[in-house]
Amino acid sequence: MEIELDLSKSIDENASVYFEKAKEARRKIEGLKKSLEINARIQKQREIEDALKKKESSPKTAKAQRKKKWFMKYRWFFTSDNLLVVGGRDAVSNEEIVKKRMQKNDIYFHAEVFGAPHCFIDAPDELKGREFIAPETSMKEAAQFSVTFSKAWEEGRAQADAYSVKPEQVSKSAKSGESLGTGAFMIYGERNWFKKTPLSCAVGFFNREQTIVCAPLSAVKKHCRFFVELKQGRKTKEQIARELKSLFEKKGLNFTIDDFVSALPNGLFETA
C-alpha cells in the first residue's frame, strides 16, 4: 500500500490528515447506506401501490367491492333508453317481483309461453306517482327479454308472443274454485300485445356496474364496451360459458363460469 506524505508536515500531522479522510469516507458510506435503504423502501411502496391499482381496476375485483344493487338478485338489463327492466329467476323471485318490487306506474311484461318470468319496466324516480309511458324501443326490448328468458329459447323457437299491462291488472286473486301457487298470477283486462317477438340474446360487460349482463342485442350494444351475441345451437350453458369466459379474458375481463351460467337463459347456444 502506497501512502503520500507531505514532507513539510510532521508524521503526526500527516497521520491526522489521513485520519480525517478516513472519518469523511465512513460518513459518506453511512450516508450512502441510508440512501440505498430509503430508495429500497420507496421502490417497495411503489410496487405495492401499482399492484393495488391493478387489483382495483380489475373488473372482477371491482365487482366484488361494489355493493350489489337490489335488482342484481334478479334478471335485469337497461334498455337503449336507459330504463331498468327486471325479471324473476324462479317462482319465488317472480312472486317478489310482482308483490314487492313492481310499483303502481311501472309497466308489467310477460311472454305467452310457459315458464316465462314476470318482468317490468321500472318507472324513473322522477315519474313515481305519475303516468309513465315508456319509449317504443324500450317496450320492444322488454318484450324480447320476456320471451328470451321463457321456455321459448329452450324449445328452439325463433319468436314468441308477449304482452304488457298495468300493474293493477296483475292479481293474486284466482277465479272461483281455483288457487294460484307461488309465482303465479292472474291477468285481468285488455293486454298490449307484442306478437311474434324475435328472441334476442347477447352477453356483454356492463360498464356502469362493472359486471356482465345478458339481454337483447340492441340494449347490450348500447351499454357494453365488449359483448358477444348468442344464437340457438348445440352447446350447453356450461360449454358456452367456458367459451365466453375465454373470450372475455382476452379483453382483460375476468368472470367465473358460474357468472356466465347464471346470466344465460335455459337452452342450447352458439356464438353468432
Contact assessment for residue 143 and residue 164, using Cβ atoms and an 8 Å cutoff: yes
CA-nearest of 86, 185, 192 to 133 is 192
User: Given this model, what pLDDT does residue 108 score?
Assistant: 97
Going by C-beta distance under 8 Å and a sequence separation of 6 or more, which residues neighbour residue 80?
A: 137, 138, 141, 218, 219, 222
Q: How many percent of the chain have pLDDT more than 90?
A: 64
Cα–Cα distances in angstroms (integers) from residue 62 to residues 50, 55, 67, 77, 255, in the given order:
16, 8, 10, 19, 11
Q: How confident is the model at residue 61 (pLDDT cuts 50, 70, 90)?
A: very low
Give per-residue pLDDT as tens, 72-89.
Answer: 999 999 999 999 999 999
User: Given this model, what pLDDT does residue 65 score?
Assistant: 46
User: Given this model, what pLDDT does residue 212 score?
Assistant: 97
Helix or strand run (H / E) with residue 51? helix 11-57
Which set of grid coordinates corresponds to residue 172? Answer: 293474486
pLDDT at 209 over 80: yes
CA-nearest of 66, 191, 85 to 148 is 85
Q: What is d(CA 125, CA 130) in angstroms, rounded to the nearest whole number?
A: 10
Cβ-defined contacts of 70-76 (< 8 Å, 24+): 70/101, 71/122, 72/209, 72/211, 74/101, 75/117, 75/119, 75/145, 75/149, 75/214, 76/213
Across the chain, mean pLDDT equals: 87
Does this model's pTM top 0.85?
no
Going by C-beta distance under 8 Å and a sequence separation of 6 or more, which residues neighbour residue 203?
A: 212, 213, 214, 220, 227, 228, 230, 244, 260, 263, 264
User: Given this model, what pLDDT does residue 11 score?
Assistant: 77
Contact assessment for residue 183 and residue 88, using Cβ atoms and an 8 Å cutoff: yes
User: Given this model, what pLDDT does residue 67 score?
Assistant: 72
CA-nearest of 234, 228, 221 to 263 is 228
Which set of grid coordinates corresponds to residue 249? Answer: 379474458
Cβ neighbours, 10 Å, residue 203: 28
Domain ranges of the chain: 12-57, 70-271
Give per-residue pLDDT as tens, 101-147.
Answer: 999 999 999 999 988 999 999 999 887 777 899 999 999 999 999 99
Give per-residue pLDDT as tens, 227-247.
Answer: 999 999 999 999 999 999 999
DSSP state letter for 188: -
Going by C-beta distance under 8 Å and a sequence separation of 6 or more, which residues neighbour residue 71?
A: 84, 86, 122
pLDDT at 64 over 60: no
Q: How confident is the model at residue 46 (pLDDT cuts 50, 70, 90)?
A: confident
Q: How many percent of the chain have pLDDT more than 70?
A: 89
User: Given this model, what pLDDT does residue 63 score?
Assistant: 46
Q: How confident is the model at residue 62 (pLDDT cuts 50, 70, 90)?
A: very low
User: Given this model, what pLDDT does residue 1 score?
Assistant: 64
Contact assessment for residue 74 and residue 97, using Cβ atoms and an 8 Å cutoff: yes
User: Given this model, what pLDDT does residue 239 score?
Assistant: 97
Give per-residue pLDDT as tens, 163-200.
Answer: 999 999 998 777 665 667 787 888 899 999 999 999 99
User: Given this model, what pLDDT does residue 150 score?
Assistant: 96
pLDDT at 55 over 80: no
